[in-house]
Amino acid sequence: MILLSTGSLRYYGLDRIFGIARDVGYDGIELIIDDSVDTVHTRYLNDLSGREGIPIRAVHAPFFFLTPPGWPKSSVVKAEMAVSIAEETGADVLVLHMPCLTEDDYIRWMRDGVPALQARTGVTIAVENMPCAMKPLGRLGARLNLNAFYYIKRSRLFYRLLSLVSAPVFPVNGWEDFLAFENVVLDTTHMATGGYDLFEVYRMLGRRIVHIHLSNFDGREHVSLDEGVLPMGPFLKMLGSDGFGGCITLEFIPDWIGAEDEGRARAALSRNLRFVRDNLSAGITRKAVDIKELPPVPAVQQS
């Protein structure tokens, strides 16, 4: 199933987002819980889903910097509360972010807390890889809200020097860290911020990948599939030939799909949906592809 993330149109109300997803032809919604009451009001969400005829198949727990009204700020408690939203809306998957460098309680909780949470619910709890970024001055830089920079920029002298006094924004985000989890969400644009090979990552994580956040990367995160450096067509063909059984969520930054104009946004969402379906179908109908022969991720050109 191909889902639309509500974050792709986060400037819009949920009624409008669900209607657009239905009209364009998406199979379902991935709901991002944010600081809006509507995203945690399950009776409203179920009524909306039924009225528009489009299911909520995945729920994304709140980002560390967003807290729904009446919820605590602790990411641990928000993760636990988000399970109820997923259960009550009939979602198959709850997406959890890896912790950022200032979330000490969440960092300590992740390894044992995720399996414990999974044991209490029938919803699949899946952990998402995050952008490979460094925060100047580490925790102090986070408090000062300094801009982060991607790992792929380390080849430039300025960023090599800056990295000496920086810390990863998401300290538990190496690929070896994900081997500790039963279920993983592969975010393609986040992966590209570290310059990783898309097919190598897919090979390494294998059946742990139960859900995919799909978008491209051109120095900006979450751009349309046909605009960045990632070989999205071959990757989707490989998913089709490999029989990937999870949901694929298209997740874009609203600005990059022209969301200030609904007509442009609809056209972009339709074009990307068609791209996914065409390439998945091509992969399903052809002989299985040897992943090793697929093209590597090209380097992002730095200015």
- pLDDT bin (cut points 50, 70, 90) of residue 66 is confident
From the list 64, 57, 101, the residue with the least C-alpha distance to 79 is: 64
The dihedral over CA atoms of 279, 280, 286, 291, expressed in degrees to the nearest 10, equals 90
Cβ atoms of 298 and 229 closer than 8 Å: yes
Would the pLDDT of 290 be above 60?
no
Cβ atoms of 205 and 178 closer than 8 Å: yes
pLDDT tens readout for residues 71-86 = 999 999 999 999 999 9
- pLDDT bin (cut points 50, 70, 90) of residue 303 is very low
Burial letters for 207-245: b for 16+ Cβ neighbours within 10 Å, e otherwise? Answer: ebbbbbbbbbbbbebbbbbebbbbbbbbbbbbbbbeebe
Across 206-233, average pLDDT: 96
User: Looking at per-residue confidence, does 154 or 133 come out higher?
Assistant: 133
Helix (H) or strand (E) holding 161: helix 157-163
Across 28-53, average pLDDT: 97
Give the relative orientation of helices 262-285 and 14-24 as an angle to the nearest 10 degrees.
Answer: 50
Helix (H) or strand (E) holding 291: none
Would the pLDDT of 266 be above 90?
yes
pLDDT at position 296 is 62
Distance of CA 74 to the CA centre of its chain: 21
**Rg of the chain over all Cα atoms, to the nearest angstrom:** 19
DSSP 100-145: PTT-HHHHHHHHHHHHHHHHT-SSEEEEEP---EEEETHHHHHHTT
Contacts of 293 (CB under 8 A, 6+ apart): none
Helix (H) or strand (E) holding 18: helix 14-24
Give the relative orientation of helices 262-285 and 232-242 as an angle to the nearest 10 degrees.
Answer: 50
**Type of residue found at 253:** I
Token pair 């009624």 in the structure block, residue: 15
Contacts of 249 (CB under 8 A, 6+ apart): 2, 3, 4, 5, 30, 58, 211, 212, 213, 214
pLDDT at position 143 is 83
Q: Could you tell me the domains of the chain?
A: 2-130+177-290 (3.20.20.150), 133-169 (no CATH)
User: What are the residue ranges of helices labelled H in 169-254?
Assistant: 175-178, 188-192, 198-205, 232-242
Q: Which two tokens stand for residue 179?
A: 């081997």
Would the pLDDT of 9 be above 80?
yes
Would the pLDDT of 271 be above 60?
yes
pLDDT tens readout for residues 238-263 = 999 999 999 999 999 999 999 999 99
Q: Is 210 helix (H, G, I), strand (E, B) or coil?
A: strand
User: Looking at per-residue confidence, does 66 or 188 come out higher?
Assistant: 188
Size of the chain, expressed as the number of residues it contains: 303
Would the pLDDT of 298 be above 60?
no
User: Looking at per-residue confidence, does 296 or 59 come out higher?
Assistant: 59
Q: pTM of the full predicted structure?
A: 0.91
